[in-house]
Amino acid sequence: MNLKIVTILVLNLGMSISHINAQTKNAISKVWVADLGNGKYKNPVIDADYSDPDACRVGSDFYMTASSFDAVPGLPILHSKDLVNWTIIGHALKRQPPYEHFSKTQHGNGVWAPAIRYRNGEFMIYYPDPDFGIYLTKSKNPTGPWSEPLLIEGGKGLIDPCPFWDDNGEAYLAHGWAGSRAGIKSILTIKKLSADGTKVLDEGVIVYDGHETDPTIEGPKMYKRNGFYYIFAPAGGVSTGWQLVLRSKNVYGPYERKVVMNQGSSPINGPHQGAWVNTPQGEDWFLHFQDKGVYGRVVHLQPMKWLNDWPVIGIDKDGDGTGEPVLTYQKPNVGKNYPISTPAESDEFDESTLGLQWQWQANPKGIWHTTSKQGFLRLYSYQAPSEAKNCWEIPNILLQKFPTEEFMVTTKLTFKPNPKIDSEKVALIILGKNYANLGLRSSKEGINLVLGECIKAIDKAPETEKVITRIDQNKAIYLRVKVSKGAICQFSYSLDGQIFINVGSEFKAEVGHWIGAKMGIYCTRNNQSNDAGYANFDWFRVSPIADTKY
């Protein structure tokens, strides 16, 4: 199915990227579609790592953002008309401040759980950086441009902010605390916010202490209904927790508590942290994540109803007011049926901008890549930082999320190393705390196909590399990795695009820092030179695991 996408070019200090993606001509995923085509959907609605999702509705349109940590561009903006079919339409964060700090990899740092709201004709995203404070970025258009992030409150350990405007115009900011920086966690604070939302006005009040019953409570989202102030908050830990709702007639409490969703008898572990939204037809729904380990925190959609002024999320099988997640359900009533759509995965590199699924490991430099609408992506070899012991610390790796549990990635490239430089490398990589890659390395003798692997990359362990065979520099090569259930990866290559030869043994992908494993490509070198070699990538395609036996 073809999607017509309008491309808006935005110049980004050395990085050009579209805010509405000129996606591949067939933008529908071949490996995961939540819309079952019969009026129902299956969870997860996005089987990819969009952690800590928050969403809002503007008219008949739904917009979602998510944590992005140190990946750039950050704060992805996704759009849907029915809460089931989502596309990436841009990013709110083109570069991450402080800019010099994030010019290096900062795994696990950066953008934690954000909140997106629409007020007075503007989209507003509040996001926390646990090391620097709470930022605000705004835009009249969800595709951008977004304003430069404004630090509305500096400090360490301030996380998961959510603004709230009361009926009288008074504004508040709820947030949690990161114990690793603040020295305390499991509490929620509400602070006074300036009416325009740009400045925190006081030190706040602790409105809930979860130490005894709700450890690691965080991620508060504030709402008001029928005279009650509500705080939706996850508790109990990322992979094992539950969705809590607090309510009070006073913004500062005291708050009553109720667990409104937990795993129950479902296979969905730790269902929590997300957003309450409603449809123009008056239905209530809840978007949240599930931690699937190496696959990241994937997005689920749950039906929601109100009972005695308490929300019930999911299906309440025993009638106790606590729901559990659904695996399949009737799609939301939004007044009509909309075409199937999914977040972008494959990229033909035919446009003048990268697909919006791509992110770097740090604030990018303009000398890392070019597309220039030439029908390919050119990655220039860029010198690895002197302190980098392996790929974990290399900023110019172009990555995207795993799209589901089983899939295959194939890319076609040609390598043109600088003959005056020894040991440039281009590769296809599966990256996490452990990683593996298959690529080409130049030497004075020619170009070798090499298989790299690093166990405990996060601990600065060195990468080991094995030479597979000599490769003709003048010919294209196809690199492939199959990812089977359990994130078991098998690399292979082909010289004709038809017959693929397995390389090495199977490799089990590993999580990143607060994120799932990622897949991507890079071109690098270990020494200084006055010019760079490069690799031309013709395309990067995500497909189902082939039945072909090698």
Give the active site residues: 52, 218
SS3 263: coil
Using DSSP's 3-state secondary structure scheme, residue 182 falls into helix
Collapsing DSSP states into helix, strand and coil, what is residue 249?
coil
| In the block, residue with structure tokens 């094992």 | 240
233 and 113 Cβ atoms separated by less than 8 Å: no
Q: What share of the chain is helix, strand, coil (3-state, %, to 5)?
A: 5, 45, 50
Cα separation, 321 vs 216, in Å, equals 22
Sheet holding 150-154, edge to edge: 115-119, 122-129, 133-139, 150-154
CB contact set of 50 (below 8 Å; sequence gap of 6+): 64, 66, 76, 78, 289, 297, 298, 299, 401
- CA distance readout (Å), 442 to 27, 263, 290, 450: 35, 51, 42, 10
Which of helix, strand or coil describes residue 170? Answer: coil
Residue 270 to residue 261: CA distance in whole angstroms: 9
Q: Tell me which DSSP letter residue 319 carries.
A: S
Residue 254 main-chain phi, psi, to 5 deg = -70, 150
Q: Contact at 8 Å (CB) between 299 and 88? A: no
Nearest Cα to 359, choosing from 521, 536, 489?
Answer: 521
Using CA atoms, how far residue 310 sits from 246, 274, 301, in Å, is: 9, 17, 19
Which among 200, 204, 59 has a CA at the least distance from the CA of 136?
A: 200
Hunting for tokens 């800019």 — which residue is that?
99
Q: Rounded to whole angstroms, what are the CA distances from 210 to 213, 218, 219, 255?
A: 6, 9, 13, 12
CA distance 158 to 112: 10
Rounded distance, CA 463 to CA 10, Å? 37
The pairing of strands 187-193 and 205-209 is antiparallel
Asked whether 408 and 542 are in contact (CB, 8 A), the reply is yes
